[in-house]
Amino acid sequence: MEIEALREKASQLKEKGLSNFEIAAELNVAEETVEWLLSKREEERPAKDVRIGWRSIGVYSTRISYISNALSDIILEEMNNRNLEIDTVVGISINGIPYATLIAEELGLELAVFRPQAEGSGFFSSNFASVRDKKVVIVDDVVGTGKTMRKAISATKKEGGEPVLCIAVVNKRAQNDVDGIPLRALIRTRII
């Protein structure tokens, strides 16, 4: 997507009442990139960012299922290599939920849903499993700065759960962990 098209999309989402945090999640870019897009200041470019578009996956549940199966395989590999036990799969709202749902089904585990908020860490939906006294894997579509994943890790610990693994479709970070919790992904991107 060209910069002007991204600017237009960011502006439309802002007009609908979304926060910069929510727009960043929707466009799969960093919050700083959203701030720059909305400011329309060409001379002040933000740090380099990579926009991840996975609509061709998201429009068909079978494709989400294929990706979820690959993520499940990575989780099983990590469980074996690190001698991990996992009780619950945490899906980060919105885009992590479809993957987490299918991973939980594939692995026969409970499903919890975390709803991050722009201010503060966020909360777990009471309509799904609790993370209290559970070892959890946290699932999202894209990990950029790690901010949302850190919120989920922090909230899990506050609720009495133990995060043991983070997994995503795409990792835009150079690090292999988020706050000391191992991070695995199908794809890793880097600006070079």
- 56 token code pair: 């061709």
- CA dihedral sign, ordered 57, 63, 69, 72: positive
Buried b (16+ CB within 10 A) or exposed e, 128-150: bbebeebbbbbbbbbbbbbebbb
Profile the chain (192 residues) by mean pLDDT over runs of 10 residues: 79 88 81 81 66 79 97 98 98 97 98 93 96 99 93 98 98 92 92 56
pLDDT at 23: 84
pLDDT at 177: 96
Count of other CB atoms within 10 angstroms of residue 30: 21
pLDDT at 47: 58
pLDDT at 49: 72
Say how far apart CA 126 and CA 129 lie, in whole Å: 7
Say how far apart CA 167 and CA 184 lie, in whole Å: 5
134-161 residue pLDDT tens: 999 999 999 988 999 999 999 999 999 9
pLDDT at 2: 78
85 burial (CB, 10 Å; 0-12 / 13-18 / 19+) is exposed
Count of other CB atoms within 10 angstroms of residue 14: 16
Residue in the structure block whose two tokens are 């995060």: 163
Report whether 141 contacts 91 (CB < 8 A): no
Q: What is the pTM of this model?
A: 0.80
Average pLDDT value over all residues in the chain: 90
The single-letter code of the amino acid at 86 is: I
Domain covering 60-188 assigned CATH 3.40.50.2020 in the classification: yes
The single-letter code of the amino acid at 153 is: I
pLDDT at 43: 64
pLDDT at 42: 65
Say how far apart CA 23 and CA 168 lie, in whole Å: 19
pLDDT at 24: 82
pLDDT at 70: 98
pLDDT at 84: 97
- 11 token code pair: 């502006």
pLDDT at 165: 99
